[in-house]
Each structure stands twice: as structure tokens, then as C-alpha cells.
Amino acid sequence: MSRLRASLTPYLLLFPGGLWLAIFFVIPTVVMLSLSLQSGDVVNGYVFTFNWHSYVDGITTYHDQIVRSVVYGTISTVIQIVIGFPVAYWIAFKGGNRKSIYLFLLLLPFLVSFVLRTISWQFFLSDNGMLLGPLKSLGLVPEDFHILATSAAVIGGLAYNFLPFMILPIYVALERIDPRVLEAAQDLYASKTQIFLRIVLPLSLPGVFAGVLMTFVPATSDYVNASVLGGTGNTMIGNVIQNQFLINQDYPTASALSFTLMALLLVGIFVYAKALGTEDVLEVAAR
Amino acid sequence: MNVPFRQDPALLRGMTQRRLGRRDAFRLAGLSAAGLALAACGVQGKGTAKPSTSAQAQSEVEKFWSGKAKNGHVDFANWPYYMDPKQPELKQFTQQTGITVNYKEVILEMPSWFAKIQPQLAAGQSIGYDLMVVTNGLHFDQLVQLGFLAPLDHSKLPNFAANAAEQYKNESFDPGNVYSIPWASGMTGIAYNPKYVDTPPTSIAELWNPKYKGKVGMMSDSQEIANFGLFAVGVDPDTSTEADWEKAAAKLKEQRDGGIVRKYYDQAYMDPLAKGDIWLTMAWSGDVFQKNISDGTDLKFVVPQEGGTIWTDNMTIPKTAANPVDAIMLMDFFYDVNIAARLAEYINYVTPVPAAKDVIVADAAKASGDDKKLLEEVASSPLVFPTPEDTARLRSYVKFKTPQEQKKFESIFQAITTS
């Protein structure tokens, strides 16, 4: 009896999580897959017909937006690494006993709703707003210069909104580095650059890897930044999917586009994991 | 009287700018899950033929209303900020009729509302509301096509017959008010900021003027922008064909690719207009009026000479309503001239009851100070009581005969706005 219970325990422990995944992930995914292959309209109903046209039409019509989303997502992720790594490094190694305060300050703005934060950027960056108003009156930028409604604004918004998800994993990775390892390197006459490149950087790569996963995926599928900060020609695939679902009620096309995006992101992540996967990272670290 | 204007301007603005930001708020809050949930349930269509003859229509009415009686309660679904939160009108209704009203501001935008009620209506179940306010347009047409709306028994609508303005009795989206009577209307025209625009725009062509390059706002809603494209190429939306849509789209594309359009806005165009991010924009009348009252801005609104769009939010009874008799009594109650006047004083959109103007003028005469000024402003505002010249230039949204046609339409115009 007790042996039976012991052998059941892992399954019982998995049950809540498994149920959660089944209800909120597996079933919706299957339904969405089914929807993406249906045809019809709201008035007459949708029927399952293996209608691959939704994929073909969706991709041919919206390939610009798909490519743009990946490009925006990539650029914003790179910006986040460039900004986030030094911040994480500084907190981890120079933060002293105020580390938790700095981390709290870092997270503080992010207690405010995502949407509100983005809208406040809209105010801040407006053509005659807090930033550009004074610059224009000083004559430092031309009168018709604007930041909003450009791709720079959208990418900037993406980089800003997901930044903590980049910083925190890098911070955790750096924080875990045993100081004795660094001391040993010093004792062996490694220069500061060498210590960084040979020890700190490789050991931080799992953090960077996690950070990229946590920021690139949501940034690529985001629709808030494009709709609040963007203008014409900045539409991302997330906005298109939202329109197809809610405005056009074209569920097949919306589902097909969602699946396309999902597949694209999965392939991207797979390739990325191959190139800079955790195992390799560990190998590098072990060298 | 119950003075509606002595309020914090920000609050007043929040209460009266019914369209501004609502769709944004909804979308951005990620509640689009509602749409996904619907999709997940699978979508069953249930198209029904519209009654084609008046005799048929009459028998539909009789079939629906026979055996229905007053139950003493009504559940009313409306948009936010579309009634004084103290609900004086509803209290009066309860006093007069003994019918209690459960008033809920649950309709945030048409697509999501439609997505929410569609499965229940398709299954023939009650949606929990006996009366709902629906904007004319795609979703209104779909509700009609799907047979989800109760045909109205006009013998129960004496106030409507007596007091509604003529043009509301023959609206292109529901001729003869078979399924709906208006709650309030608004106009889509051009709003501009006189600080940046010296010559008041009178023509829709101003939205194409290279002088305003990068400073023009357009709406992202396909039906709204299509109408403006059609006006610009000189076609009446009511009689437009697919070829006209293509022509209008080409015109709109030229405007976009010329860098004239700053952005295609959902609703949040008023702040950028006031701040000077855009100088002129497609806009809804009520928003402009409210922005001026609440923030002290001096924005202007014009109906272009080529035409403007009129949209109407309509009271309708879902076919599965539990208390349709109480609901239709409440509908008619809002066509009492005094009630219509109180409502217009508060919400500042176009009232379908022209006689309300005299009541507001009389109220203004009794009031004093700021209230007087504001009431006078409401009574004389062309946005609340449009002039006959304005009205003559107003058109409804494009109507579709088939879902395929609608899909074509959407794909033509969304190619412009989601670039």
C-alpha cells in the first residue's frame, strides 16, 4: 500500500500543474489549431475544412508585419542586453548591502500597469512635451522633429517595458558567481578584462539566455507599444491578430497568424538555444 | 432641477467622453481574452432571413409579443458615461411605473460585447439583459441578420411616434425602426486646433493638404475611414460599390504614403490634438465638445462640405429577454421630451428628440451663473442639435449585403490602417 502510494506520489504532485496546463494551454492550442483550419463567417458559422488558405493568405498579406515584429523584437532585445547587463553587473558587484534597495528601485516603476507606463511615455515624448518642447524652444532640434509615431519610439517602448525581465536573470546569474573564483583569477595575474571575458561573461551567459527568452518572445508579439507609441507603418503582427479576432471576427486568419508567429518564435528559440544553449554555456563555464 | 455641471471638470469629462479611450482601455487591458474565449467555444452561425413584407413583419411582431406581460423589472445594459450616475431618469421611471431598473454600464465596445452575447443568443438563452444599447454598424447588422433582436411593437412606443425627429424614423441601418430606436447620435467630422490651423478647414480635402504633412490624424476603424475616403472621392457611402471602395482606398493610400497621416487612431486622438502632436483629425462631435468644457481647450469641429458621418447608438431588445414589455416601456420613457432633455443636458450627444431643445432653453432661463452658461451652450451647440444644413450632409456607415462583401471591405481598408 505504502509502496503504491510512493509510486503514485510524483503523479499526484504533477496533477495540479498538469491539469492547469491541459485546461489553459493544451486545449486552447488545439482549439486554435482547429480554428485556423476552419472556414466560414460569423453569421453562417465556421466549419472545419482543412482550409490552409488562412495560413497562405495571412502570411502573404501580413509578411511585412511579421518581419517587422521580429526585427523590432530583436533590436529591442539587443538594446536591453546593452542597457541591462551593466546595470545587473553594477548591482551584483558594486551594490554592496544596498542590493535589495537597488533591485526594488529598479522594479518600482514596473508596479504600475504596463499600459499606463506606455501611455506616460506618450506624454513624455509628445511633439511639444516635456522632452521635445524645451529642446525645440532652444532650437536644438528642428520644429517638425518628432519621436512618437516612428519605429524608434516603438522599439524604445519595447526595450523599456521588458527591461526588468532582462536585468533580473542576468543579475541572478552574476550574483551566483563565487567571489573566490574571481580572487583566484586575480591571484593568477589575470587582468580585469581577462577576468570579465574569461570568467564573468561566460558564467553570466545562462542569465542572458534566460533574459533573451523572457524579453524577445513578448516583445515580438506585443501590440501595446505599436498602438500607443507607433504611427503609420509601425503595425506589428500582434496588432493584426487582435484586429482579426476582435474587429473582423475572422477567427481562422487570426488563429493561423498566431500559429505562424508561434512557430516562428519556436524555431528562432530553438536555433538560438542550439547556438547558445544552456549546455554549451555550461561547457564554456567549465573550461 | 438636478444641475449636472457642478462637478470636477475631470470627472465631468470622464463621464461624458463616452468614446475616448474606451476601446483602448479594453484592448490594452488584455480583455481580448473574451474574444479568444468565444473563438475557443467554436462559432456557430445562425443566419435568418429578414422579414421582407410589412405583413410578415407585423406577424413577427405579434408572434414575439403575444403572451408577454409586464414583470415589474428590467435589466438595462448601456455604455459607461451615458447617464448621470445618480440615474435620476431611472428613479423617475420606477416611481411612475413601479418597474425597477438594474442599470449596468457593461458595454465597452461593440466587438467585445458582440463576442460576449453571441454564444448565449445563438443558444437561445437569456443574456441577462432586456435592453441594450448597440451602435449601428457591422455588429448591429449582424445582430439583425442572426435574428437576435426582438421586433419592436410600435403600439407600445407612443412617445417615440410623437417626439422622435423624422430622420430617426427612417435610418438606413434599420428602416422603420423594426428592431431599434435611437438612444443618442454623434457625428464624425474634422476637429482642428486653431492654434496651428489658421484657415478653418471646410473641405475634406484639407485632410490631404501637404501643408499639414505628418500632422493629420485619421481613424483606424474601417467604417469610419472608409466613409471619409468615399467623401473625398465624391461617393455617397449609402450607394457605394466595391469599385468605389477601391477608389477611396487608393485616395487614402496616397494620403498615407505622402506622409500626411501621423497615425490611425482608435479613440485617443483628443489629447494629441490638444497638445499639438496633430493639428487636425477625424473626430467624434461629443469628444470635442467635452474636451473644450472640461479642459478649457478651444478645439473646433466642422462637418466637411463633402459630408460627414452620423452614427447612432440604439436601444434594442434581445430576442431572449426575460422582461421585454418592461424594456419597451423604458425605451418609450426616454422619448418623453423632459426626460430626453435631462439626458441631453448630461451626456451632450445629439438627442433624437428635437423638442428637448426648448426644455433645455427653459432650464437655462431658470438657472444662473455657470450652469446657465453651460445649459445655453448645450442648447445652442450644433453638436447636440445639429443644424439642418449639417444634417443634410451626414451619412451612415457603408452597409453590406453579404459577409463576403464585408470581409472584402475590411481587407481593403485595413490594408490602409494596419500598415
Q: Specify if B367 maps to a domain.
A: no
Query: What is the architecture, at CATH level 2, of domain A53-286?
Result: Orthogonal Bundle (1.10)
Q: Is B47 left (phi over 0), alpha (psi -120 to 50) or beta?
A: beta
Chain B contact set for A124 (CB, 8 A) = none
Q: Specify if B373 maps to a domain.
A: no
CA dihedral B99, B102, B108, B109 (to 10 degrees): -30
Exposed / middle / buried, residue A237 (Cβ in 10 Å: 0-12, 13-18, 19+): buried
Please give the pLDDT value at position A88: 96
Which residue of chain B has the CA closest to A117? B28
Mutate to test the interface with B, among A47, A62, A249 (most CBs of B within 10 A): A249
Q: Which residues contact B415 (CB under 8 A, 6 or more apart)?
A: A61, B249
The domains of chain A are located at 53-286
The SS3 of residue B237 is helix
Q: Specify if B236 maps to a domain.
A: yes
Chain A nearest-CA distance from B164, in A, is: 32
Residues B250 and B319 in one domain: no
Hey, what amino acid is at B61?
Answer: V
Chain B contact set for A235 (CB, 8 A) = 418-419
Q: Specify if B4 maps to a domain.
A: no
Q: Specify if B412 maps to a domain.
A: yes
Residues B147 and B171 in one domain: yes
Please give the pLDDT value at position B261: 96
Which residue of chain A has the CA closest to B417? A232
Chain A contact set for B403 (CB, 8 A) = 41-44
Please give the pLDDT value at position A283: 53
Instruction: Tell me if A273 sits within 8 A of B65, measured CB to CB.
Output: no
Instruction: Encode burial over B272-288: b for 16+ CB neighbours within 10 A, e otherwise.
Output: bbbbbbbbbbbbbbbbb
Please give the pLDDT value at position B255: 96
Domain that residue B303 falls in? 188-310+398-417
Q: In this complex, which of B24, B35, B44 lies closest to A246 when CB atoms are compared?
A: B35
φ/ψ (deg, to 5) at A135: -60, -40
Scanning B281-387, the segments in alpha helix (DSSP H) are 285-295, 324-333, 337-347, 356-366, 369-380
List of chain A residues with pLDDT < 50 = 282, 284-287
Residues B151 and B51 in one domain: yes
Instruction: Tell me if B411 sits within 8 A of B245, measured CB to CB.
Output: no
A41 touches chain B (CB under 8 A): yes
Chain B contact set for A69 (CB, 8 A) = none
The C-alpha cell at B14 is 470622464
Hey, what amino acid is at B293?
Answer: I
Residues B34 and B131 in one domain: yes
Contact assignment for B403 to A42 by CB distance below 8 Å: yes
A255 touches chain B (CB under 8 A): yes
Chain A nearest-CA distance from B160, in A, is: 31
Contact assignment for B27 to A242 by CB distance below 8 Å: yes
Chain B contact set for A115 (CB, 8 A) = 25, 28-29
Residues B136 and B165 in one domain: yes
Please give the pLDDT value at position B55: 75
Please give the pLDDT value at position B281: 96
Q: In this complex, which of A31, A46, A247 lies closest to B111 when CB atoms are compared?
A: A247
Please give the pLDDT value at position A280: 55
Please give the pLDDT value at position B46: 52
Handedness of CA B80, B81, B83, B84 (dihedral sign): positive
Q: Specify if B112 maps to a domain.
A: yes
A237 touches chain B (CB under 8 A): no
Contact assignment for B256 to A232 by CB distance below 8 Å: yes
Residues B19 and B158 in one domain: yes
- Residue identified by cell 554592496 is A96
Contact assignment for B39 to A148 by CB distance below 8 Å: no
Residues B180 and B200 in one domain: no
Contact assignment for A45 to B45 by CB distance below 8 Å: yes
To 10 degrees, what angle do helices B33-40 and A251-276 make? 110
Please give the pLDDT value at position B400: 84
Report which secondary-structure segment, H or E, holds B134.
Answer: strand B131-135
Please give the pLDDT value at position A1: 59
Residues B37 and B149 in one domain: yes
Residue where a domain terminates, one of B352, B379, B409: B352
Q: Taking Cα atoms as reference points, which of A179, A182, A168, A170 lies closest to residue A102?
A: A168
In whole angstroms, give the CA distance from residue B21 to residue B221: 14
Residues B169 and B117 in one domain: yes
Residues B204 and B174 in one domain: no
Instruction: Tell me if B134 sits within 8 A of B140, measured CB to CB.
Output: yes
For the entire predicted model, the pTM comes to 0.80
Which residues of chain B are at the A interface, by a Cβ-Cβ cutoff of 8 Å? 24-25, 27-29, 32, 35-36, 39-40, 42-47, 111-112, 114-115, 118, 142, 145-146, 214, 222, 256, 261-264, 266, 272, 275-277, 403-404, 407, 410-411, 414-415, 418-419
Chain A contact set for B413 (CB, 8 A) = none
Q: In this complex, which of A32, A43, A251 lies closest to B146 when CB atoms are compared?
A: A43
Please give the pLDDT value at position B48: 58
Residue where a domain terminates, one of B352, B373, B407: B352
Q: Which residues contact A172 (CB under 8 A, 6 or more apart)?
A: A207
Exposed / middle / buried, residue A14 (Cβ in 10 Å: 0-12, 13-18, 19+): exposed
Number of domains within chain B: 2
Contact assignment for B45 to A129 by CB distance below 8 Å: no
Q: Specify if B192 maps to a domain.
A: yes
Which residue of chain B has the CA closest to A46? B43
A120 touches chain B (CB under 8 A): no
The C-alpha cell at B100 is 425597477
Residues B181 and B192 in one domain: no
First to last CA, chain A: 49
Please give the pLDDT value at position B22: 40
ipTM above 0.85, yes or no: no
A150 touches chain B (CB under 8 A): no
In whole angstroms, give the CA distance from residue B34 to residue A205: 39
* Length of chain B, in residues: 419
CATH of residue B412: 3.40.190.10
The interface residues of chain A toward chain B in range 67-106, judged by CB-CB distance below 8 A, are: none
First to last CA, chain B: 51
In whole angstroms, give the CA distance from residue B254 to residue B245: 14
Q: What is the pLDDT tens value at each position of chain B, 419 positions in all? A: 333 333 344 443 443 444 433 444 434 444 344 434 434 444 555 555 555 567 777 888 999 999 899 999 999 999 877 888 889 999 999 999 999 999 998 987 787 788 889 889 989 999 999 999 999 988 898 899 899 999 999 999 999 999 999 888 988 889 999 999 999 998 899 999 999 999 999 999 999 999 999 999 999 888 899 999 999 999 999 899 999 999 999 999 999 999 999 999 877 888 899 999 999 999 988 778 778 877 888 999 999 999 999 899 999 999 999 999 999 999 999 999 999 999 988 888 899 999 999 999 999 999 888 888 888 888 888 878 888 888 889 998 888 888 788 889 988 999 999 88
List strand residue ranges (DSSP E) for B199-348, in order.
Answer: 216-219, 261-265, 280-284, 300-302, 308-316
CA B244, B250, B253: angle at the middle one, nearest 5?
Answer: 140
Mutate to test the interface with A, among B22, B26, B27 (most CBs of A within 10 A): B27
Residues B168 and B194 in one domain: no
Q: Taking Cα atoms as reference points, which of A62, A228, A120 lies closest to residue B266?
A: A228
Q: Which residues contact B190 (CB under 8 A, 6 or more apart)?
A: B201, B204, B206, B207, B280, B281, B282, B283, B301, B302, B303, B304
C-beta neighbour count of B208 within 10 angstroms: 17
Q: In this complex, which of B24, B142, B222 lies closest to A42 when CB atoms are compared?
A: B142
The SS3 of residue A39 is strand
Residue where a domain terminates, one of B352, B377, B408: B352
φ/ψ (deg, to 5) at B260: -80, -35
Q: In this complex, which of B28, B44, B264 lies closest to A232 when CB atoms are compared?
A: B264
Q: Specify if B58 maps to a domain.
A: yes
Please give the pLDDT value at position A279: 56
